[in-house]
Amino acid sequence: ETGVTQTPRHLVMGMTNKKSLKCEQHLGHNAMYWYKQSAKKPLELMFVYNFKEQTENNSVPSRFSPECPNSSHLFLHLHTLQPEDSALYLCASSHSWTGTGELFFGEGSRLTVL
Amino acid sequence: TQLLEQSPQFLSIQEGENLTVYCNSSSVFSSLQWYRQEPGEGPVLLVTVVTGGEVKKLKRLTFQFGDARKDSSLHITAAQPGDTGLYLCAGEAGGSTLGRLYFGRGTQLTVWP
């Protein structure tokens, strides 16, 4: 596989569920990102990892918990979410965090919280 | 907060027409990127402009970075149905937030055959 792969593509969960989103990049990049895309709002940066280390947490609620076990994999653990958290969650990677360069996005995970 | 305002928010045109999409800010950016996002896909980079006044062409698409590096425009000539998608501009901030991208809300373009 090439590029950035996200699973699952669609997820429906209740407010008391615990689920995880997975992202894998096959580009040899060192930086990985989670973005939230909601209707009528700009793409919101949530987390940034550079060489597996978290370099930015953009004031994201603790019900979202990222994990980056290595430079190729990124997870977003979800628990006790709210309906307003329903959105498209996009994973992206880039060569490095310093000087963003080009972001390579996955196809996204469409999350619906009931 | 460095806001990027895109206009128009929605654009629906017939095949063959020309259009321009704008991306404006009161902030200066070290570079500006344009992405296109098709339904069910993630955004894909179209172009990066770096120098004030820079113009880049990608087939029927012409991108311009404002002289003061605060705004940009995307002009499409003879639009095709394949141009349909969400066009996003993203500004890269310099200084202490080097490397951070600020996205606009996007322009949803629909081109009808």
Q: What is the pLDDT of residue B63?
A: 98
Q: Structure tokens of A83?
A: 């309906």
- The chain A residue lying nearest B89, using CA atoms, is A42
pLDDT at A96: 78
Please report, for residues A13, A71, B40, the alpha-carbon distance to residue A8 in angstroms, rounded to integers and kept in the order given: 12, 20, 13
Segment among A3-17, B27-41, B92-106 with least mean pLDDT: B92-106
Task: Decide if pLDDT at A73 tops 90.
Answer: yes
| C-alpha dihedral sign at B13, B19, B24, B30 | positive
Q: Looking at beta carbons, which residues of chain B come within 8 Å of A29?
A: none
The pLDDT of B69-76, averaged and rounded, is: 97
pLDDT at A1 > cutoff 80: no
The rounded percent of chain A whose pLDDT value lies above 90 is 73
pLDDT at B90 over 80: yes
Residue A102 to residue B100, Cβ atoms within 8 A: no
Using the Cβ of B79 and the Cβ atoms of chain A, whether some distance falls under 8 Å is answered with no
> How close B40 gets to chain A, by Cα (Å)?
7
Question: Do A98 and B98 lie within an 8 Å CB cutoff?
Answer: yes
As given in the structure block, the two tokens for residue B112 are: 């009808």
Q: Give the distance from residue B80's alpha carbon to the nearest chain A alpha carbon, in angstroms.
A: 23
**Per residue in A75-90, pLDDT tens?**
999 999 999 999 999 9
Q: Which residue has the tokens 């995970």?
A: A109
Locate A66 and state its tokens: 């990222």
pLDDT at A100 over 70: no
Phi then psi dihedrals of residue A83, to 5 deg: -55, -35
The closest of B81, B71, B74 to B32, measured between CA atoms, is B71
